[in-house]
Amino acid sequence: MNKRRSLGQHFLISDSVAKSIVNFSNITKDDIVLEVGTGRGILIPYLCKNAKKVISVERDMELYLQAKKKFSRMQNLVLECGDAFEMNHRFTIFVSNLPYSKSRQAIEWLVQRKFSHAVIMVQKEFAQKLVTETGSRDIRAISVLASYSMEIRNLMNVKKSNFSPPPQVDSIVIGLTQKHQLSDKIVRNINKLFSFKRKTIRNIGKQLGITIDSDDRLEDLPHGEIIEIAKRISK
């Protein structure tokens, strides 16, 4: 268990929370569900109940083999071992209870994919970063990417006691509905812009080879305007 803790793996042990996550997902017989992080498979029976197909990907070989043995009779389930963020699965619904350290990577990957909606569990502090608004000095690249690309809703709070081993912080389940799909270039350029966060937009433009006639800072701009600047860098 110490190894699992060091890897940031905190396994959901509450069936009631698992059922709620799947209920929030609104899965139908037409949906292909991608679950990233099979873990011990607590979500799988509920995901498979209504979905056309469930693809569950786990990086940990030991957990993958356990799931293969446990769920071998489920006809609409595909289990894979590897890094889902390096795969190119098509899906309509994304569901995940990832290690906290993978939350940012998951969002950056999701904004580049075409999907209907997602239900994921993240650390509360991370969820707050996703909805940071214009004018806040706490705005980050991930705030712009998430808020521009997706409608974000807080669905339920999850106490640390619902996990084994329990994490140090409480979690929150959030719902994401896609609004805009972004390219890899835009994601990289947004991150590049925020590497100069404390500079004025005019000075950031000089650093990146574009002309911007403004002394505002990134936190002063609507998210859509920051996206437009990122598009200019791509040209």
What single-letter DSSP state applies at residue 222?
Answer: -
β-pair type (32-36, 117-123): unpaired
CA dist 12 and 30 (Å) reads 27
pTM reported for the whole predicted model: 0.92
154 pLDDT exceeds 50?
Answer: yes
163 band by pLDDT with thresholds 50, 70 and 90: very high
* Mean pLDDT for the stretch of residues 20-28: 98
97 and 12 Cβ atoms separated by less than 8 Å: yes
Using one digit for the tens of pLDDT, what is the confidence trace for 40-77?
999 999 999 999 999 999 999 999 999 999 999 999 99
Pseudo-torsion of CA 89, 94, 96, 99, nearest 10°? 60
- pLDDT over 70 (residue 10): yes
CATH number of 2-181: 3.40.50.150
Distance CA 2, CA 10 (A): 11
- Exposed e or buried b for every residue in 93-114, given b needs 16+ CB within 10 A? bbbbbbbbebbbebbbbbbebe
pLDDT for 101 equals 87
CA separation for the pair 80, 100 (Å, rounded): 21
**For residues 121-147, average pLDDT:** 90
pLDDT of residue 100: 83
The domains of the chain are located at 2-181, 186-234
